[in-house]
Amino acid sequence: MMVPQRKTSGQSASRHRDGRHSYAEHQPMQKRRGQEMRHSIKRPHDNKLRFIALGGLGEIGRNMMLLEYQDDIIIIDMGLQFPGEETPGIDYIIPNISYLKDKTKNIRGVLITHGHYDHIGAIPQLIGKLGNPTIYATPLTAAIIKKRQIDFPHASKLNIEHINETTVTKLGVFSVRYFPVMHNIPEGIGMEIETPIGIIVHPGEFKFYYDRNNNPVGLEAFKELGKKKPLLLMLDSTKSEEPGRSMPEWQVEENIEELLRNAKGRVIVSTFASLLDRLTQIIHIADKLERRVAITGRSMEANFAIAKELGLVKIKKETIIPIKEIGKYKDEKILIITTGAQGEENAGLTRMAAGTHRDVHVRKNDTVIFSSSIVPGNEMAVQVLRDNLSRQGATVYHYKILGIHSGGHATRTELKEAINIIKPKFFLPIHGFYYMRQVNAKLAEEEGGIPAHNIVVGENGQVIEITPESIQLTKEFVPTSHVMVDGLGVGDVGEVVLRDRQALSADGIFVIIAVVDSQTGKVRGSPDIISRGFIYLRESRELLYHARQLTKKIIEDATQNMHPVNWTWVKDNVRDRLGKFLFQKTERRPMVLPVVIEV
Amino acid sequence: MMVPQRKTSGQSASRHRDGRHSYAEHQPMQKRRGQEMRHSIKRPHDNKLRFIALGGLGEIGRNMMLLEYQDDIIIIDMGLQFPGEETPGIDYIIPNISYLKDKTKNIRGVLITHGHYDHIGAIPQLIGKLGNPTIYATPLTAAIIKKRQIDFPHASKLNIEHINETTVTKLGVFSVRYFPVMHNIPEGIGMEIETPIGIIVHPGEFKFYYDRNNNPVGLEAFKELGKKKPLLLMLDSTKSEEPGRSMPEWQVEENIEELLRNAKGRVIVSTFASLLDRLTQIIHIADKLERRVAITGRSMEANFAIAKELGLVKIKKETIIPIKEIGKYKDEKILIITTGAQGEENAGLTRMAAGTHRDVHVRKNDTVIFSSSIVPGNEMAVQVLRDNLSRQGATVYHYKILGIHSGGHATRTELKEAINIIKPKFFLPIHGFYYMRQVNAKLAEEEGGIPAHNIVVGENGQVIEITPESIQLTKEFVPTSHVMVDGLGVGDVGEVVLRDRQALSADGIFVIIAVVDSQTGKVRGSPDIISRGFIYLRESRELLYHARQLTKKIIEDATQNMHPVNWTWVKDNVRDRLGKFLFQKTERRPMVLPVVIEV
């Protein structure tokens, strides 16, 4: 964990204090002013610290939390969430910042824990709308943020200040110190936030580093914090259900080294480009074993370039070779690093398996290593990829059959130890689904000795009020509905569009177009049918014939007997009866859309 | 494992032998006859046994395998596969039986290993098309098959014969004996198939039963088989990547009992209805602890009724109570068993969590136990369900945080031991993806001492030829493309429909309808737009305006300058240019469907 020495000053000089906040705004202006005068220095919410998560609770990703004390707000992380089955076609989801709309001048800064997209990915869309506050990040995290910003040419220019373990960032009433933690990307940080009500500890996302005897090392920062009697500990819950300790990285390293040493041919390693720790670890092992390393895949190459530039890679000059030159060396001297461990359609490994990669075709004697866990939802794609690799004759290893990957989140034993070393008065489980956080809460109560009334499990948007004496869930909720990014649209895809996409994917669409002669009330010719995803039209002539007849009949019955014709009623009637007819014949429910054109 | 004593005779009397088979059919009739005369008894393929999987290799589910020797075919299992992300809207997938179309008279019988749907679920659609051959199954398996058949009123009446461990089923040249195996449904069987070339062992799906010292017991049948020097072992590969042994059922039982003993309030257990072993196990524990048991959910009640009828449940009469009567007992005397462990939308547990269940609302002090693994793809639904249960104040346990479930498939150590006890000459890994079977093959080679040339990893549809001397993959493939069941349609949904559904779910559909005056060539009024799943129309007026203008222009340019108008060209042009326009404005690619109506 290398954090350069540079001190940063905060932005307290530019603060405005006009006492505006969401609760007070509902009161008549005069009364509010009067109140302020009566309480002189006292601000609304008195001396309570408000914690609000705009994302990251009840979900994985979209991490963005606020601390608000009177007129000072600091933001921790600004991440995106990757889409799931219930959000088809969406690129990603970002936090809802409605609550901050009228409070941008209160924002003193944005603190970033580490460089993963679920912690930085919403910056391009949001930072401008928040008045472009200063972002505080370590050099590597800052480099990743800046690199991503390039993909958004119209986004705001960023104000980033580097931080390190000696920095003290003064942000209004808050004062923040940082300590390095081990995650699976370098330069992860934890934070000690001094507030008017006490010290808040947020260790970010972390796991323990173990020595060869599997004793955790480097816990000095936690111990120092413990001595300061912190008021509140916020703790990652992602792995609160996972018993025991993380597999130590030295063990992963040894296993990978042994695999590389024994592999008779080329070795192809696939991992997340964002797992920079794993990436550099593998390159160092290859360097030691004198395998040449070829890196392929845009994100992998870009992240390697960043890591190299920041001095995180220390290898022989000749180790890295262009992918085009792998043929110049013996197979057993080659290591290829590529993307695609999740079975992504166009990623390197997928194309190598399919024989469509420009430079590498997987063949007999190749060893393929998947050194990453599988993101839920990708299981089938990964299975198909493993199958295709095996069929080409490659030997495939993955983390479940061999210890060649270890996650980045503290497991139960580690969480328990962190709680017992830091010994906070209050405990607030963060990051992850409600259940995971409840399990974390129970751990803090049962194994950390924190009384139940000093622990809260909140929801996204729920205001949590903290004083030196108590921590409480309030009934105040700020908006946190999903803001979806789909192509160029931010927030324009909502529930209706998503529901339609789901319906379309289940049973398709059936559009029937009838041209009605306004003179005679007769349907001209036969109605047109456009259908996709419902049935194979060419093999359903009879069904289509009856659908046309039914539509024609409904329309002509109406034009004969109804004066004037209520076309909305007619169309609803076609939709209902045609829908029922199609269901009766097929037991499928396509979306039925009737179009009537009067000529 | 209770298998009643009843002997079954085969169907050899009704066999026809006319020498027809797919290979010979391509030869002129005379030559074939001549051949037959020359070789007298010899049949085509000489004395080779042919193994063909119509499903179940390279996938999970859809299990159906054939053994063919000259004019005799036996079928093992006839299962369905549940749909995945790549088959939206599909109910399930069944095996393709094209290969058997002209061979139905050769089919001597269908052997069923156990009563799970991936082994019996295609019977309603397929058995009639195969000439309604006799199905051989244990009483429980037979009862489940019959119960399912009721849902298909137009399906054939079944011929089922019960089997047990003393039955010898003679089916043409084949002679089959059965031995009980432990799976997670009662009455699972393995088979010893005597063929003209030697003994084939197929243990079905199984795991080991362990005593309190964790020693496997009940391996006598395997040991007996080992003494007979079997030619071939076919072995389940589903858990070939899972190290060690299965968690013993006594351990699961103890853990569940302890949970039930300590729970202060009601206990709600959710599992698969098909995991009949788990279901009866939990009922017996509740009976012992004097908790009343209420069972809710159609499939759960039906399976319990079958188990009870077959004498698999031995409890006090008063233990089972109607769900409506749970209020009459103290909370700590109640156990509720329900479906929904996969987060299925309308299942019991989901409704209990949502507060929409008629009889049970989850509340504080309830303990909810998920005693089943999560089917890949259901992770998110299960997570949401756990969250909702936790939010109601329930304490939730699942198999990952506590040993309250154990799978039904042999893990690596168990597979290794089975191979070493049975000691076959040839090894054929079955059930599961290619990679899983390759891992199983490697296990047989490295830990079972079977030479690599005696092991084959085949594909669905690939003919594997076996003689006493060799086992070989051939280049002959029979059709195995997916046959999809969607509503009433069997096989009518193909690649085109599925591809459309996937496209629709990603970016929606955009239908534009222009009415053209055939006299003037002008577009009447403004083209109509119907769009779903693309954008929110009301907020996209400008985009729609330009889309209409563009369409109008393309059409009118054509009608002015093209005589006669090539409408196909015009529509293609609208599709392309409108598609590009919409992508440029939104970076989304809805399916664009232009309709031009001439009046």
Residue B481 DSSP symbol: -
- pLDDT at residue number A495: 85
The answer to whether the Cβ–Cβ distance between B597 and A597 falls below 8 Å is yes
Interface test with A, best of B497, B519, B574, B591 (most A CBs within 10 A): B497
Shortest CB distance from A500 goes to which of B487, B532, B588? B532
Among candidate residues B121, B147, B9, B125, the one with its CA nearest the CA of residue B63: B121
Q: Number of C-alpha atoms within 13 angstroms, CB side, residue A393?
A: 9
Distance between CA A417 and CA A422 in Å, rounded?
A: 9
Burial of residue A341, with CB atoms counted within 10 A of its CB: 0-12 exposed, 13-18 middle, 19 or more buried:
buried
Q: Tokens 């006292």 map to which residue?
A: A42
Helix (H, G, I), strand (E, B) or coil at B4: coil
How far is the C-alpha of B194 from the C-alpha of B174, rounded, in Å?
6
* B501 chain-A contacts, CB cut-off 8 A: 504-506, 508, 533
According to the model, what pLDDT value does residue B17 have? 35
Q: Just give the CATH number of B249-397.
A: 3.40.50.10710
Average model confidence (pLDDT) for chain A?
90
Question: How many CA atoms are closer than 13 Å to the CA of B190, on its beta-carbon side?
Answer: 26
CA-based nearest residue to A204, from A120, A92, A130 = A120
Is there a contact between B379 and A383 if contact means CB atoms under 8 Å apart? Answer: no
pLDDT, tens digit (0-9, with 9 covering 90-100), for A438-492: 999 999 999 999 999 999 999 999 999 999 999 999 999 999 999 999 988 888 8
**Distance between CA atoms of residues A339 and A396, nearest Å:** 15
Residue-level pLDDT at B379: 83
Question: Does B7 score more than 80 pLDDT?
Answer: no
What burial class does residue B338 get, using C-beta atoms within 10 Å of its C-beta: 0-12 exposed, 13-18 middle, 19+ buried? Answer: buried
CB–CB contact B243 A439 (8 Å): no
Type of residue numbered A96: N
Neighbours of A9 (CB within 10 A): 11
Q: Angle at CA B591, nearest 5°, toward B588 and B597?
A: 130
Cα B258 → chain centroid: 34
User: What is the predicted pLDDT for the residue at A177?
Assistant: 98
Q: Do A493 and B535 touch (CB under 8 A)?
A: yes
Does the pLDDT value for residue B241 go beyond 60?
yes
Model confidence at B557, pLDDT cuts 50, 70, 90, reads very high
Task: State the best of A375, A436, A455, A500 to mutate against chain B, taking most chain B CBs within 10 Å.
Answer: A500
**CA gap B1, B188 in Å, rounded:** 8
**Integer Cα distance of A178 and A203 in angstroms:** 9
Three-state SS string over B276-339 comes to HHHHHHHHHHHHHCCCEEEECCHHHHHHHHHHHHCCCCCCCHHHECCHHHHHHCCHHHEEEEEC
What's the rounded mean pLDDT across residues B18-30? 33
Contact between residue B527 and residue B550 where contact means Cβ atoms under 8 Å apart: no
C-beta atoms of B586 and A489 within 8 A: yes
Rounded CA-CA distance B479/B489 in Å is 20
Over residues B227-240, the pLDDT tens digits come to: 999 999 999 999 99
Chain A hits for B515, Cβ within 8 Å? 515, 597, 599
* Gap between the Cα atoms of B240 and A197, Å rounded: 56
List chain A residues with CB under 8 Å of B88. 505-506
Q: Does A89 touch chain B (CB under 8 A)?
A: yes
> What is the residue type of A529?
I
Instruction: Specify the CATH class of B8-244+408-486 in words.
Output: alpha beta
Q: Is the pLDDT of residue A49 over 50?
A: yes
| Interface touch A86/B438, C-beta < 8 Å | no
Q: Is B102 on the interface with A (CB under 8 A)?
A: no
Q: Which residue of A has its CA nearest to B399?
A: A241
Cα(B83)–Cα(B99) distance, rounded to whole angstroms? 23
Q: Is the pLDDT of residue A273 over 80?
A: yes
The DSSP element (H or E) to which B177 belongs, if any, is: strand B174-181
Which structure tokens are listed for B14? Answer: 């009704």
Chain B nearest CA to A379, separation (Å):
7
With an 8 Å Cβ cutoff, is B511 touching chain A? yes
Enumerate the H helices of A322-446 as residue ranges: 348-354, 379-391, 412-422, 434-446
Residue of B nearest to A588 (CA): B487
Is the CB of B88 less than 8 angstroms away from the CB of A505?
A: yes
Contact A497 B540 (CB under 8 A): no
Residue type, position B209, single letter = Y
Question: Does the pLDDT of residue A25 top 50, yes or no?
Answer: no
Pairwise CB contact (< 8 Å): B377 & A508: no
Q: Which residue of A has its CA nearest to B459?
A: A391
**pLDDT tier, A83 (very low <50, low <70, confident <90, very high otherwise):** confident
| Class in CATH terms, B508-598 | alpha beta
What are the b/e assignments for A303-336, b being 16+ CB within 10 Å?
A: bbebbeebebbeeeeebbbebeebeeeeeeebbb
Of A380, A401, A506, the CB nearest to B85: A380
Rounded distance between C-alpha atoms, residue A522 and residue A517, angstroms: 6
User: Cβ contact (<8 Å) for B396 and A435?
Assistant: yes
Confidence check: pLDDT of B195 > 70: yes
User: How many angstroms separate the CA atoms of B432 and B241, rounded?
Assistant: 11
Angle (CA) B52-B58-B62 rounded to 5° is: 70
Q: Note the pLDDT tens digit of each residue in A296-334.
A: 988 899 999 999 999 999 999 999 999 999 999 999 999
pLDDT band of residue A34 (cuts 50, 70, 90) is very low
List strands edge to edge, sheet with A292-295. A292-295, A334-338, A267-270, A367-370, A395-398
Q: Where are the domains of chain A?
A: 8-244+408-486, 249-397, 508-598
Instruction: State the average pLDDT for chain B.
Output: 89
pLDDT at B37 over 70: no
Is residue B513 less than 8 Å (CB to CB) from chain A? yes
Band (A45; pLDDT cuts 50, 70, 90): low
Domains A249-397 and A508-598 share a fold: no
| pLDDT confidence band for A281 (50 / 70 / 90) | very high
**Catalytic positions of A, written as ranges:** 236, 409
**pLDDT > 70 fraction of chain B, expressed in percent and rounded:** 92
Best residue of A82, A390, A586, A595 to probe chain B, by most B CBs closer than 10 Å: A390
Instruction: Check whether B115 has a pLDDT greater than 80.
Output: yes
Residue at A27: amino acid letter:
Q
pLDDT of amino acid A43 = 54
| In the predicted structure, residue A205 carries a pLDDT above the cut 80 | yes
Predicted confidence (pLDDT) at residue A504 exceeds the cutoff of 80: yes
A174-181 and A209-210 strand pairing? unpaired
- Close Cβ partners of B150 (under 8 Å, ≥ 6 residues apart): none
**pLDDT for A82 beyond 60:** yes
* Identity of residue A103: K
Nearest-CA distance B46 → chain A (Å): 30
Phi-psi region of A198 (alpha: psi -120 to 50; beta: other; left: phi over 0): left
- Between A and B, how many residue pairs show a Cβ–Cβ distance under 8 A? 194
> pLDDT value at position B475?
96
Q: Does B543 touch chain A (CB under 8 A)?
A: no
Residue showing tokens 């005369």: B37
B204-208: average pLDDT? 96
* Helix segments in B458-599, DSSP class H: 495-507, 541-561, 567-586
Contacts of A222 (CB under 8 A, 6+ apart): A203, A418, A421, A422
Q: What is the pLDDT of residue B44?
A: 58
Q: Which two tokens stand for residue A274?
A: 């964002």
Q: How far apart are CA A169 and CA A166, in angstroms?
A: 10
pLDDT surpasses 70 at A18: no
Q: What is the pTM of this model?
A: 0.85
How far apart, in whole angstroms, are the C-alpha atoms of residue B41 and residue A441? 76
The answer to whether A383 faces chain B, any CB pair under 8 Å, is: yes
Provide the pLDDT confidence category of residue B269 given band limits of 50, 70 and 90: very high
**B587 contacts in A (CB within 8 Å)?**
486-489
Q: Is A400 on the interface with B (CB under 8 A)?
A: yes
B216 within 8 A of B210, measured Cβ to Cβ: yes
Higher pLDDT, B377 or B142: B142
